Each structure stands twice: as structure tokens, then as C-alpha cells.
Amino acid sequence: MALLEGIRILDMGWVLGGPFAGQLLAQMGADVVKIEPLEGDLARGIPPHFADGESSFFLSVNRGKRSVAIDLKQDRGRAVFDDLVRRSDAVIHNFAPDVPKRLGVDLQALKKINPKLCVGQLIGFHDEGEYRTTPAFDLVIQAQAGFMSLTGERDGKPVRAGYQVADLAGGLYLALGLVGALLGASRTGEGQEIQVSLFDCQIALLTWQAQNYFISGEVPRRNGSRHHMIAPSEVFAGSDGKYFVISPTGDAFFRKFSIAIGHAEIADDERFATGAARIAHVDALAETLQSIFSKQPAAYWVDRLKAERIPAGVLNEVDEALGHDVTVLRQMVETLVNPATGNSLSFLGNPLKWAASRTLSYPPRLGEHTRAVLTEVCGYDVDRIEELARAGAIATGGQA
């Protein structure tokens, strides 16, 4: 049995954070119905890469969902949505804070329709004052929440993460929070709202950097690939120019590491003999190690260190990571066939593993499941669905 078997979630998310949460919930077995406007999720058209007319951006976070296209601005479209709410367990969305009440999808409005309904809301900053309408792009969140101040070379320009860490972390927290709300509703019969702020999530992820600041008053700074509290723990290059990382933590590990690279004397150097000394002389240590590592290819050093169970690994490009043997063993790349075209496409697999886990279906075309969902969930007959489609309250046919 799937973890969320029998749970129906209406996913009103768009672009990235909200849809990512919806896909996570689908990966746990929920029936996730993607509620889209008649023009579809904006992410369907984001360039530059497309497969069968759908953006790679959209395809990456909308697997395992059924798409229902509704015009919520029409009374008849709104009535359709309300019927779905009556027969669902939760609604998730990532609208700006002032939008839900205007659309009538806030908790107070929806609980009048279904008292047991839970609502998961993903916002950018805060739901009051000036932040209520402040645009919350991923880059802006990374900058304002301190993340970028920690990312980049020590004397260089701050940089953003290579992927949208603020949006994706928000989606993770939203999915987790909603599962907690659903558990509570199953016990009490009372739905509740979980609100997740992208800004809050990035602040929460500061963890030990923030704790260090609370204790010492020292402001954490960016440090390249180098760890602030462990040395050596950073990127080095082999003689072939390939990068690799090492992180022999603790004095015993460091001595074992020194022996493994053929330079046991390093562990006896008073500058490097203790963890505190290695941090104090980290530049000298890094220079010493790089002069050694420059004599052999990166793979040579990684193999020697791994043989001694010392933390080390090559630095993979994305294509290399996707082809890694662990990626294959963990089934983290799956190939699906688009049922509309017969074309196959690779997707990322499910990081959640359990006995009944299953492969998610191909991302839906716009309105692909409108007919099926309204028939199955709401009990509408063919004539009613056709009438709603002619009135422009819904869209059917599955054309993107």
C-alpha cells in the first residue's frame, strides 16, 4: 500500500515550489489533481528546452498528477472546483499572500465546503505589511536570507546555488507540513492550514552557521568549498586537472589520511597535529596537500583514500552524476513513454523508497484528465461535462 493511498490533493501550484511539493506527495502515493487555469501552468512554456511541446521545467515537477483545467473566475467553474474540494483531503498552492482570499481558496472559505480539508500555502516572505506583495523570486530569497553570503570564494563575489534551492526547499517543507496536517485531521476531523515561507526555510537551513553566530557573535562568511570547522575539507585538483574532494574528520582520520597519501609526517607537523591547529593553518595545509595531489591524477588519489575508507570523491558534472553507478542502483533515473506521442523521455526517480513504491506516470497534458476526474470524483455525466466545456468553465481534450 502506498504511504498516502486514498488521499486526494488538489494541487493549485504553479511554476516550481508548489508543483514540486505536489510531485513529492504523488511520490508518496497521493492522488494529486493539478488544477490549472484554461491557459495552463506558466511553467509549460518556459524556454529553452521542450519535449513534445512541454517545457523541461514543467516536466520536471509534474509527474504522477492528473490535470483538470478550470476557469475559477466563472461561477460555473468555481462550482466545479467546490465539488472537487468536497471530495478531497487537501489543497496546496503557492499564490502570493493576498491572492487566496481573493480567489476564495483560503482555509476559512474552503472549510465551509469541507471542514476536514487541509490547506498547504507556500509564500515568499510574510503575509502582512509590505511583504504581503513583495515578489519572491528564488534569487531574491537566496540573497536576503543569507544563503548567498555563504556561497562563493572567500574573496570573490557572492553566488547563487546552481539550482533553485529556495523554491525546492520550500516545496520540501510544504509537503512535510501538509502530511503532518493530514495526520492531525485524520485524528480530530478538523482541517488546518500549514503556511510555509521560502524565506523561513532558508533561515531554518542556516542551522549550525546561525548557532555559531548566536554563541560567538562572529558573522559566518563564504569560504569557497572549504569547511569552516573541519580541515582539510575542500576541493583539490589532480595532475590531470580533474577535481576531487576530501574530508578526513578528526585526528585519527587525519593520521590515517596522511599515511594513505604517502606522507605520514604531515600528521606530526605541529601546525596540523590537531583539529584546531589545522583550522588555524588551513591555507598552509591546503598548499601542502595540493603540491602532493598535483603529482597524480584525481582518480588515483580517490581510489587510494576510498580503499582506506577515508571520505573522498571525484567532482562529477551533472551528466556524470546521472550516470553514476549509485544513480543506477538506486533507480534515480527512469524512462517513460509519453502516451500521447509514443516518444520516450528520461526523468528523475523517487528518492523515497518503500516496499510498494512505484513509478510515477508521465506529466499530464493540459486538461488531460478533466473528463475522467469530474466523472470519477464528482459523478458528472457526459452531458454536464460537455455543457461546462461549451460554456468555457472547463477545458478538456488534453492539448497543451
Cell of 50: 521542450
Q: Which helix (H) or strand (E) holds 347?
A: strand 344-348
What whole-number distance in Å separates Cα of residue 187 and Cα of residue 165?
34
| Cβ count near 382 (within 10 Å) | 9
Cβ neighbours of residue 366 under 8 Å, at least 6 residues apart? 36, 40, 41, 44, 67, 69, 395, 398, 399, 400
Phi, psi (deg, nearest 5) at residue 261: -90, 5
b/e 91-111 (16+ beta carbons within 10 angstroms → b): bbbbbebeebeeeebbbeebb
Q: Helix %, strand %, coil % for the chain, to 5?
A: 40, 15, 45
Cβ neighbours of residue 224 under 8 Å, at least 6 residues apart? 152, 153, 154, 156, 234, 235
| Cβ count near 201 (within 10 Å) | 23
For the question of residue 155 being annotated catalytic, the response is no
Q: What is the DSSP letter of 228?
A: S
CA 260 to chain centre: 38
Q: How many helices (H) and strands (E) does the chain have?
A: 17, 14
Question: Which whole-number Å values give the CA distances from 283 to 25, 54, 191, 278, 293, in the listed order?
Answer: 46, 49, 55, 9, 15
Burial degree of 278 (CB within 10 A; 0-12, 13-18, 19+): buried
Q: Identify whether the C-beta of residue 266 lies closer than 8 Å to the C-beta of residue 288.
A: yes
Pairing of strands 312-314, 54-55: unpaired
The DSSP result for 164-191, as a single string, is: -HHHHHHHHHHHHHHHHHHHHHHHHS--
SS in 3 state form for 65-94? EEEEEECCCCHHHHHHHHHHHHCCCEEEEC
* Catalytic-labelled residue, pool 11, 71, 138, 167: 167
Phi, psi (deg, nearest 5) at residue 77: -65, -40
Active site positions, annotated:
167
